[in-house]
Structure 1
Amino acid sequence: MTTLALAGLGWAMRAVWQIRLATAGEPASGLPDQGEGNHRPLTSLEDSYHLVSSASGFAAAVCAIAFLVWMGRVRHNGRELSGARPRYAGLWVYLGWVVPVVNFWFPRGIIADAYRSSAPGEPLPLSLNVWWGMWLISMLTGVGLTYADSTDEIIARAYTDVWQLLASDAAVIAAAVAGIFLVRAVTAVQERRMN
């Protein structure tokens, strides 16, 4: 849960810096990447955005590792509690995030399966669908956690289309918050069942 909170905080800091960039406006010297391999020196605000972006990226990477470990554990616990074979093979805990098309439902399915195995007959927690919906929105916008733009390109977008960046940041932050509630709900039901 701590890593989810740190990742959400990191993305909130990115949003703050993007707003600062948008309100400061593009410098008279133009964008950082001036094309044909030419880059101008960064302003102090742009340079600090690079630092914030790197720190939030690191927090997200640590969060991703911790979340994968947690997913593996709840899948295993669900199998132990129910005695039934999980719907998804263990390899999908990791591959389910990166294999195209299946990455739109396998991660959610793995957690839902673990919850159902741990608490038969109980409805899935609302946080599961909120978390997954926000994750998909951030993924599909192309500017969330999975964007392909460089930091300088993100800075350029902050000067012109900051609303797109902020919408995606909001989805990532909402996914992190819902993820905290999800981890608590699934972990609590498994601990209750084990006791």
Structure 2
Amino acid sequence: MSHDPFAPPAGPVVPAPPAPVHHTYGAPLYSLPPLRSTAGLGTAAIVLACVWSAVQVLKLALAPAAADALREAAAAGYGAYDSAFTGYDLAAILSFAVQLATYIVTCLWLYTSRSTAVAATPGLVHQRSKVWAWLGWWVPIVSLWFPYQVVRDIRRATATGPVSGIGGWWAAWLVFVTLSNTAGRMTSRTTAEATATAAEALVFVELAATVGMVVALVLWIRMVRDVSRSQAERIAAARQEHRS
């Protein structure tokens, strides 16, 4: 029998290695991030959220004086931008500084929690990639729902009990953000007519914004604690399994 030059060499057939199983955004299971505790960052995020809310309450308390300054500016024929600097304006500057600190710590907590959630439940699909834990809060348009999806999926992947309250938290947050931005625009009007209108509405807008923020804060604290506790339980279980 003649030898076929195109035949494969004799010997055992070695099967090709199986393709890695992927979860969201193409990360293979063998490269999953380790389980990391988020309790410290979660506590810091809660504390800063409480400080921010306290500053918002302070803004509400100082809003009547700011409204009086706006009325005086309108009566003199100039806009809010040229009105007297009040304690309300100082509280607004303080609010921005606290907001920045809260954003940084909260995003660190979300980023770490998402990595832990992926490691704990690799089969669950996260609708948004991890970069949106940072970008989702301020990118126009998508900021209306991307952070909600990030938080929702983190909680779904780690919660040990029923997942509830996320919709109410996000609705209250959007109320606060919308009205807070409205108050900021009202206190920077350039015409006397617009300033007079702002003076009459400022206290009401700040009151509604504060109510929205307090509601969002209560639900946020519950969610952060729930996620941190659930992840701590998973980490403890994983360590126990490793020891055994």
Structure 2-normalised TM-score? 0.64
Confirm or deny: 8 A CA contact 2:71 2:195 kept in the other structure. Answer: no
Q: Is 2:154 aligned against 1:118?
A: no
Aligned partners of 2:72 and 2:182: how far apart in 1? 31
Q: State the Cα deviation string for residues 31-87 of structure 1 (Å, max 9, x = none).
A: 69914x9835x2xxx422221111122111211111111111111110111123633
Taking a change above 3 Å as real, the CA distance of residues 28 and 38 of structure 1, as seen in their structure-2 partners, is closer
Backbone CA RMSD of aligned residues: 3.0
Aligned partners of 1:31 and 1:179: how far apart in 2? 42
Confirm or deny: 8 A CA contact 1:93 1:110 kept in the other structure. Answer: yes
Give 1:93-132 correspondences, 5 Å limit: 93-119=133-159, 122-126=161-165, 128-132=166-170
Aligned partners of 1:77 and 1:92: how far apart in 2? 16
Partner of 1:185: 226
Aligned residues: 185
Confirm or deny: 8 A CA contact 2:187 2:198 kept in the other structure. Answer: no
Q: Is 2:82 aligned against 1:39?
A: yes
Partner of 1:83: 122
Identity of aligned residues (%): 22
Q: State the Cα deviation string for residues 101-140 of structure 1 (Å, max 9, x = none).
A: 33222211111111221237x42142x222211112223x
Aligned partners of 2:96 and 2:76: how far apart in 1? 20
Give 1:25-174 correspondences, 5 Å limit: 28=72, 30=74, 34-35=78-79, 39=82, 42=84, 46-84=85-123, 86-119=126-159, 122-126=161-165, 128-139=166-177, 142-145=178-181, 149=185, 151-153=187-189, 159-161=199-201, 162-174=203-215
Q: State the Cα deviation string for residues 8-39 of structure 1 (Å, max 9, x = none).
A: 101110011113444x575545469914x983
- What secondary structure, in the 3-state scheme, does the structure 2 residue paired with 1:97 have? coil
Taking a change above 3 Å as real, the CA distance of residues 156 and 29 of structure 1, as seen in their structure-2 partners, is closer
The one of the two structures with greater contact order (alpha-carbon pairs below 8 A, sep at least 6) is 1
Structure 1-normalised TM-score? 0.78
Aligned partners of 1:28 and 1:117: how far apart in 2? 54
Unpaired segments ≥5 residues, structure 1 = none
Taking a change above 3 Å as real, the CA distance of residues 47 and 147 of structure 1, as seen in their structure-2 partners, is closer
Taking a change above 3 Å as real, the CA distance of residues 21 and 148 of structure 1, as seen in their structure-2 partners, is closer
Equivalent AA in structure 1 for residue 185 of structure 2: D
Confirm or deny: 8 A CA contact 1:5 1:180 kept in the other structure. Answer: no
Q: Is 2:62 aligned against 1:17?
A: yes
Taking a change above 3 Å as real, the CA distance of residues 117 and 31 of structure 1, as seen in their structure-2 partners, is farther
Aligned partners of 2:217 and 2:127: how far apart in 1? 25
